């Protein structure tokens, strides 16, 4: 059996860093993630065939892909592959989380990154709409 994980020294350093990091730092990070989540939730809903779910404490937005609304996309994996190839936007297909017909988008990037990504997803969905 092979187990990969941080060594003892790294584990100790992380706990010390977390214990001595000002609360404002964590508050700022949480605020940025919340802003990204809200932006994604609101704007992915504008994409044809995409129904986002507002996160409840996670760092990602799961969205249902209404596959029947696309003329040439039959699975979430196909949606992922074509979106990456055509628009250079990477989402994760829900199938890898045992949720076929969904996609997952992380909320850890700044809103400025998501503005561009959502515009590309919108264009992609319009191009493939039935």
Q: Count CB-CB contacts under 10 A for residue 49.
A: 19
CA distances from 122 to 100, 112, 118 (A): 21, 16, 6
Dist. CA 51–CA 81, nearest whole Å: 19
Q: Tell me, what's the pLDDT at 3? A: 67
Q: Which fold has domain 48-130?
A: 3.90.1150
From first to last of its 130 residues, the chain has per-residue pLDDT tens of: 666 777 778 888 888 888 888 999 999 999 999 999 999 999 999 999 999 999 998 999 999 999 999 999 999 999 999 999 999 999 999 999 999 999 999 999 999 999 999 999 999 999 999 9
CA distances from 110 to 15, 34, 35, 117 (A): 26, 10, 8, 11
């Amino acid at each position: 059996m092979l187990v990969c994980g941080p060594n003892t020294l790294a584990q100790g350093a992380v706990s010390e860093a977390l214990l001595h990091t000002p609360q404002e730092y964590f508050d700022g990070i949480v605020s940025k993630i919340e802003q990204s989540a809200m932006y994604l939730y609101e704007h992915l809903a504008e994409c044809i065939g995409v129904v986002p779910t507002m996160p409840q404490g996670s760092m990602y937005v799961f969205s249902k892909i209404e596959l029947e609304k696309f003329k040439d996309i039959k699975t979430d994996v196909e949606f992922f592959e074509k979106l990456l190839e055509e628009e250079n936007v990477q989402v994760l297909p829900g199938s890898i989380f045992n949720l076929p017909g969904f996609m997952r988008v992380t909320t850890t990037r700044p809103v400025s990154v998501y503005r561009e990504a959502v515009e590309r997803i919108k264009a992609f969905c319009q191009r493939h709409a039935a």
